[in-house]
Amino acid sequence: MDSSFTVLEQLTELDPARVANLPQSTPITIRSVAISFRSDSETLIYVGTGGGKLILLSINPSISDSVQFVQLISIGSRLIETILVLSEIERVLVLSDGNLYLTDTLLSQPVKKLGFLKEVTAVARRFRTESSNFISETTENGDSSSEITEDSAGPSLSDTHCGSSSSAVAAMGKKLVLIEMILSDNDVKVHLKEILGFDGIKAMAWVNESIFVGNSNGYFLVSSETGKSNDIFTLPEFSRNPKLKPLLQGEEVLLLVDNLGVVIDTLGQPKGGSLVFKCMPNGVCQLGSYVVVSGDAKLEMYRRNGECIQVVDVGKFGTGGLILGGDDMAKGEMVAVATTSKVICYRKASMEEQIKALLKKKKYREAISLSEGLKSDGEITKRIFSFVHAQVGFLLFFDLRFEEAVDHFLLSEEMDPSEIFPFITQENRWSKLVPRNRYWALHPPPAPLEEVIDAALARIQNMIFLKRAGLDANLDERFLFNLPSRADLLELAIRNIIRYLVASRNKEFSPEVKDGVDTLLMYLYRALDLVPEMENLASSDNSCVVEELEVLLNNSGHLRTLAFLYGSKGMDSKSVAIWRHLARNYAASLRRETADTLERGTSSERKAAEEASKILQLSSDQDLVLEHLSWISDINEDLAVTILISEKRTDQLSPESVLAAIDVRKVAIRQRYLQWLIEDQECDDPRYHTLYALSLAKSALEQVATGSDSTDERSNGNMSEDCNDEVENGYKFSVRERLQLFLQASDLYDPEELLDVVNDSELWLEKAILYRKMGQENIVLQILALKLEDSEAAEQYCAEIGRDDAYIQLLDLYLDPQNGKEPMFSAAVRLLHNHGESLDPLQVLERLSPEMPLQLATDTILRMLRARVHHHRQGQIVHSMSRAINLDAKLTRMEERSRHVQLNDESMCNSCYARLGTKLFVMYPDNSVVCYRCYRNQGESTSTKGRNFKQDVSFRPGWLVTR
């Protein structure tokens, strides 16, 4: 911490006897001091003397000479040891000569002596940090030396009462007395409860249900509910008297062991680190988040981490132990320290004024260091801390230390980006957003960067002149030896403002501020000609105001940035128009460029088309898409297809309009669009199926005419990265392969219309598919067998037909091909070898040509005849076995039906258990017997044993068939 850091500053020094107009013949000796905060403009000071006088003074903490005498009363003739201000009930509790006295806070009412309490050695008020009962109704014994007893002369302390109340604990002899004071009708009723078994108590603190007690042996914790006690720790031999002080309004307690302060929580457990004091404390109090201790001649102030931040020398006012008094509730910002005759009041110094003084001296690091310390102490809020960073940033900015200034701007969470706007442009639509009068008037008002730099350079020149003249000038040495140029400073300022605005884009501000940040950021990018940054900003999600930028960007020639900006704002028509303009300019420039820039120009032209395609892929404006389809297809057909088949748009384009807009010369685009329409969109319109087939057929005819058998080549040769993978995969086949696959897969095109196109061509397989669609089996077989000579395909087609006469018809074509063609005996033999067993031998023999060599057909004919005989004999065997099985089943059935059943008088129905006698009965295959009535009820298929004979068939072995 900087040595200039001051927490305590003297407010006033006063002589209580003089302020109270006491005669000099009766001097007073101050023995105790207490402070009570009433309001921001009034704090009460209670001064207790060695002669039993209690003096009340009033002071305004913000005014040094504002001490006023209020009242003086006499409480006995002995010294006043302790003064406790009970603000809850507007009373003051005083310990004097072992007795307790109660009076009002303004000392205007008679003093009431609590006569039932005598020989009191210590007293402490109670602090409440949470809702808790005073004492439980259940009385429990603590250890062997602790016992709670209740005063029988009044109601129970645990009784519910109305009005304000306050509690205290007094050490009296070998017991603790719990005192509850209830304010009712401007009178205080006192209730008591005792805890026995303690001796030699010198210091106490009471927080919630925990009473911290100190004697010459050590510190221990007593429960106000049960009376049980637990040791905290033992004091070393020859240590000073124990002292205790509640901190943070009772959330913690400070226990003193000589010059060591141990912080514990309300349960007696250590909390945080210990405080090591430079002096032996005579008194302890809390001031805000700091701990103040008084020694023999000094006041010391400590942070909670044990760091001593200030020492105040009070030795000039007198010698001996200092008496320290503060507000027990830690509400005020003032402490009082007293010698035997004087009272010196100290208040917490204004932190803002100290920070402001450092900033005026341009000690920026010291100011930030001080602010960080105050923030960690809880003395300033997070908002004030951010305010200091912003203030330092502005001062550094006007000192031309732009990088450091922006670093502080970024550390300020309260700073609004609109405060930077006046540095960029003075008059704009965001001028009214700039906050007014927020700072300490330590820097000039914001102005455009050029003016700020010019004023700073002039000021530096004056300082340099003064420095060289031998006068003292607060000048940065770097400017003395190396003064940057105006252009360098301007660029540095712009770059750092850019850095701040870029960081501000990730924070939450009002829509108007966001508009200003992005728009002015584009201004700055343009000022430094940072084209990539401009395009990245324009193409991303931004809040730029187009009206503020379109003229600027258009005049400066940053058309790509303007196109990106239009696109990000949904102004697709304007954006695509710019990309078209750029693409045409690239194309026109290629005729003027040299060979080494040709490739770069082509790439730029394609990039313009790609950017336009990204917009058109999302657009559902059909007129816009079709308007720009032509020039994009001239550059890259893949991009044109990607636009047409894009599924990113909400509403798809009309196929009729698309097909009408596609240039008739762009055959590949038409085909790929129709393919997507049919395959991906599952279009079942016969017109589009026929159009696609006709287009493929014409392309196939051209391919055959040119002798090319390669896959389709696009006009550009390079596949665009944006092309759909499905389209690319669909074009890995040649045109004829695609035509054949489509003709086989689709049933919606018009085969007759296609035949008119391919009928006079050599596309025999395509014709076969078309005739097959038309049901012309004979023509299909002729093409497969005679034109293509594909025996396997012909036989497969016969198998698809599924009739034996199809094979006979194919055999006729092989043996009699006509048109002067030689018989295809090998194909005929193959056919008979593969399918001859299923053909009629007579029909085959009738069709065999006399000219066919016998050795070719002998084996095949023999195998046909043998197979026919084998099938005949196999049928006879099966027929005979079937007759035998039928005969066996009849015989078994006859045996079952002819079985004899013997019944007697005791025989009963297995279902109703009635005697059968002469009744008609039925016996099931599982030998269960039922009467006829039960048989009619349960049916003939289910017996009384639950067996269903239709599902679980009864098997009886016969002479032929056994299990």
Instruction: Tell me 315's DSSP state.
Output: G
Residues shown for the chain: 963
Q: What is the pLDDT of residues 428-439, one digit of tens each?
A: 788 777 777 577
Q: What is the pLDDT of residues 268-287, one digit of tens each?
A: 888 877 889 988 888 898 88
Confidence of residue 959 (pLDDT cuts 50, 70, 90): low
Q: Which amino acid, one-letter code, is at 507?
A: K
What confidence score (pLDDT) does residue 480 get? 57
Q: Partners of 84 in the beta sheet?
A: 93
Secondary structure E strands in 288-350: 290-294, 298-302, 308-313, 323-325, 334-338, 343-348
Lowest mean pLDDT: which of 139-148, 214-223, 644-653, 856-865? 139-148
Contact between 343 and 45 (Cβ < 8 Å):
yes
What confidence score (pLDDT) does residue 568 get? 93
The two beta strands, 120-127 and 921-923, are: unpaired
CA–CA gap between residue 704 and residue 698 (Å, rounded): 10
227 pLDDT above the threshold of 60 = yes
Q: What is the pLDDT of residues 52-106, one digit of tens each?
A: 999 999 999 888 888 999 999 999 888 999 999 998 899 999 999 999 999 999 9
Residues 846, 852, 853, 859, Cα dihedral to 10°: -40
What confidence score (pLDDT) does residue 924 get? 82
Q: Which amino acid, one-letter code, is at 249?
A: Q
Q: What is the pLDDT of residues 486-512, one digit of tens each?
A: 999 999 999 999 999 999 998 888 899
Give the N- to C-terminal CA distance of the chain in Å, as an integer: 106
708 pLDDT above the threshold of 70 = no
What confidence score (pLDDT) does residue 98 get? 92
What confidence score (pLDDT) does residue 955 get? 62
Which of 567, 529, 514, 30 is CA-nearest to residue 318?
30
What confidence score (pLDDT) does residue 317 get? 53
Contact between 102 and 92 (Cβ < 8 Å):
yes
What confidence score (pLDDT) does residue 712 get? 47
730 pLDDT above the threshold of 70 = no
CA–CA gap between residue 405 and residue 396 (Å, rounded): 5
Confidence of residue 519 (pLDDT cuts 50, 70, 90): very high
Contact between 941 and 949 (Cβ < 8 Å):
yes
Q: What is the pLDDT of residues 387-405, one digit of tens each?
A: 899 999 999 999 899 999 9
Q: What is the mean pLDDT of residues 15-19?
A: 90
pTM above 0.75, yes or no: no
Instruction: Tell me 243's DSSP state.
Output: E
Q: What is the mean pLDDT of residues 193-222?
A: 91
The two beta strands, 929-931 and 112-113, are: unpaired
Q: What is the mean pLDDT of residues 854-874?
A: 71
The secondary structure of 378-405 as a DSSP string is TSS-HHHHHHHHHHHHHHHHHTT-HHHH
Angle at 260 between CA 254 and CA 266, to 5 degrees: 20
Confidence of residue 676 (pLDDT cuts 50, 70, 90): very high
CA–CA gap between residue 784 and residue 772 (Å, rounded): 11
Lowest mean pLDDT: which of 476-490, 675-689, 834-848? 834-848
596 pLDDT above the threshold of 90 = no
Q: What is the mean pLDDT of residues 309-314?
A: 87
What confidence score (pLDDT) does residue 956 get? 62
Q: 260: Cβ–Cβ under 8 A, 6 or more apart, which residues? A: 274, 275, 276, 277
206 token code pair: 């009471």
Q: What is the mean pLDDT of residues 650-677?
A: 93
925 pLDDT above the threshold of 90 = no
The dihedral through the CA atoms of 93, 94, 95, 100 has a sign that is: negative
What confidence score (pLDDT) does residue 516 get? 92
Q: What is the pLDDT of residues 788-801, one digit of tens each?
A: 888 888 888 888 88
Compute how many other C-beta atoms are within 10 angstroms of the C-beta atom of residue 834.
15
240 token code pair: 């000073």
Q: What is the mean pLDDT of residues 122-149?
A: 57
Question: What's the mean per-residue pLDDT of the chain?
Answer: 83
Helix (H, G, I), strand (E, B) or coil at 22: coil
Secondary structure E strands in 197-321: 201-207, 210-215, 218-223, 229-234, 243-247, 252-257, 260-264, 275-276, 283-287, 290-294, 298-302, 308-313
Contact between 524 and 501 (Cβ < 8 Å):
yes
What confidence score (pLDDT) does residue 795 get? 84
Residues 188, 191, 194, 195, Cα dihedral to 10°: -80
What confidence score (pLDDT) does residue 752 get? 92
CA distance to 167, 178, 327, 431, per residue, from 181 (Å): 6, 10, 20, 62
Confidence of residue 845 (pLDDT cuts 50, 70, 90): low
Secondary structure E strands in 793-890: none
Which of 344, 302, 347, 301 is CA-nearest to residue 323?
344
Provide long-range contacts, Cβ within 8 A and 24+ apart, for 65-71.
65/12, 66/12, 67/12, 67/14, 67/19, 68/19, 69/19, 69/20, 69/21, 70/44, 70/106, 70/107, 71/106, 71/107, 71/108
47 pLDDT above the threshold of 90 = yes
Helix (H) or strand (E) holding 690: helix 686-706
* Percent of the chain predicted with pLDDT > 90: 38
Q: Which amino acid, one-letter code, is at 182?
A: I
What confidence score (pLDDT) does residue 152 get? 39
Contact between 836 and 844 (Cβ < 8 Å):
yes
Q: What is the mean pLDDT of residues 904-927?
A: 85
Contact between 149 and 156 (Cβ < 8 Å):
no
What confidence score (pLDDT) does residue 592 get? 44
* Percent of the chain predicted with pLDDT > 70: 85
| CA 387 remoteness from chain centre | 29
What confidence score (pLDDT) does residue 837 get? 64
Q: What is the mean pLDDT of residues 563-591?
A: 85
The two beta strands, 68-74 and 165-172, are: unpaired
CA–CA gap between residue 579 and residue 604 (Å, rounded): 11
Lowest mean pLDDT: which of 21-30, 505-514, 899-908? 899-908
Q: What is the pLDDT of residues 322-380, one digit of tens each?
A: 889 888 776 668 899 998 889 999 988 888 888 888 888 888 898 898 888 888 877 88
Plot region of 163 (φ>0 → left; ψ -120 to 50 → alpha; else → beta) = left
Q: What is the mean pLDDT of residues 236-260?
A: 86
CA–CA gap between residue 763 and residue 744 (Å, rounded): 14
593 pLDDT above the threshold of 50 = no
Q: What is the mean pLDDT of residues 27-34?
A: 91
Compute how many other C-beta atoms are within 10 angstroms of the C-beta atom of residue 550.
16
512 token code pair: 């108007």
Q: What are phi and psi of 157, to 5 degrees?
A: -70, -20
CA–CA gap between residue 797 and residue 803 (Å, rounded): 11
Q: Which of 8-12, 328-332, 924-928 reaches the highest mean pLDDT?
A: 8-12
Between these two residues, 816 and 511, which has the higher pLDDT value? 511
Confidence of residue 808 (pLDDT cuts 50, 70, 90): confident
809 pLDDT above the threshold of 90 = no
960 pLDDT above the threshold of 60 = no
Lowest mean pLDDT: which of 316-325, 653-662, 671-680? 316-325
